[in-house]
Structure 1
């Protein structure tokens, strides 16, 4: 798993470089497969990505036990629960970028102001109910907000996305922050005009075959 640890660190550092992460806020994980290796690798608690080396990355089993010399991120519960409940989740990114966090602090769902919301699986982006960081209550709220979705906001907290792999999760995180910025800016000018349910259903159908299918 050493190569996967290195990929996780490189992606965490790219997250910071792209402006999604600052300091020690946020966390990143990737699913591992097979026998005793079934579980996930996750960034450690309270360490900046620039300082990480392979041995700092924590391996976690789905029963909540960990292996490594560091404490796992305090948010390991929602990572674990996403992997258990969503077989399509290969990597999970949680971050506190400025625009997503600003909207999350309003405890506001993002409506269908832009068709690209369909990239995350639905016609809205939900905001999970507030709960203290690192708690099972927060993880439970996350699972509700991410039902049939690949992303959500966390009230008074930040953003959360999952992708097929580390590269995909990071790409979705960048897209989500861009949409939050666009929504924030549009709201400065007035009430955005929303796409109706029929149009968003059409967009969701088109996204099912969007891009390079392999």
Structure 2
């Protein structure tokens, strides 16, 4: 993907998150990797006002926060860059403040395998990482650790984050994570949800390796 495609893809992704009710206003942030650069949503711009020229360009591996563009990147730029540096398979990152995922994050409760779709995140749980102030190196370290072998995590008292090989896959996981969080929350209100065994989920993880939206579709 070239720079123009990355910028357009981020604007489209931000609008889709708002349309789906997974973010609102200027909450959350998105990024895409293109070569040695990451393109990150700017700080404080609502999705409906965002245009491609406002997306900040940042060099992966640069811990100083230098950027190209008319507006500074999201205050959460650090965990975007650190995830790309840590995981070469990640091409897109979506951070959201969706209702049910954030509710579980305030409870500091990981999502267990109450549905086989949890396999879309790489294992039998979606972890909830610890709390640190937004935009800090401490939060970034928690995020990178939580996503070392997963493609989604809750951020304690904050929200959720998902990854994908491209924006389509990251947005798909954003939808699936919020759906899982809602099912788990409502199931826990009604009783004690039955958790699927780990071996069943690991088998499903293998089957899911080619599951989800295709980049060539």
| TM-score, scaled relative to structure 1 | 0.94
Q: What SS does the corresponding residue of 1:105 show, helix, strand or coil?
A: helix
Residue 10 of structure 1 corresponds to 12
For 1:118 and 1:74, the matched residues in 2 are separated by 30
Partner of 1:182: 183
- The residue number in structure 2 matching 1:59 is 57
CA 1:207–1:2 in structure 2 vs 1: closer, same or farther (change >3 Å)?
closer
Shift of 1:209: 4.7
Once the two structures are TM-superposed, the CA of residue 206 in structure 1 deviates from its matched residue by: 2.1
For 2:29, which of 27, 36, 55 is the aligned residue? 27
Equivalenced residue count is 210
Task: Name the TM-score, length of structure 2 as normaliser.
Answer: 0.92
SS in 2 for 1:200: helix
For the residues of structure 2 that align with 1:212 and 1:185, how far apart are their CA atoms?
A: 27
The runs of 5 or more residues in structure 1 that have no matched partner are: none
- In structure 1, the partner of 2:169 is 168
1:212 positional shift: 8.3
Q: Deviations over 1:53-103 (max 9, x none)?
A: 122110011213211110100000000011000111111000000000000
SS in 2 for 1:67: coil
- Please give the secondary structure, in 1, of the residue aligned with 2:74: coil
The answer to whether 1:191 aligns with 2:192 is yes
Look up the match of 1:100: 101
Separation of aligned partners in 1, 2:71 and 2:137: 21
Alignment partner, residue 159 of structure 1: 160
Decide whether the 8 Å contact of 2:168 with 2:213 is kept in 1: no
Residue equivalent to 1:79: 80
The Cα of 1:164 is off from its aligned counterpart by 1.0
Q: 1:84 to 1:51 in 2, by over 3 A?
A: same
- 5+ residue gaps, structure 2: none
Identify the match of residue 45 of structure 2 among 31, 44, 47: 47
Deviates more, 1:66-75 or 1:199-208: 199-208
Aligned-residue CA RMSD (Å): 1.5
Cα distance 1:209–1:91, how it changes in 2: closer, same or farther (>3 A)?
A: closer
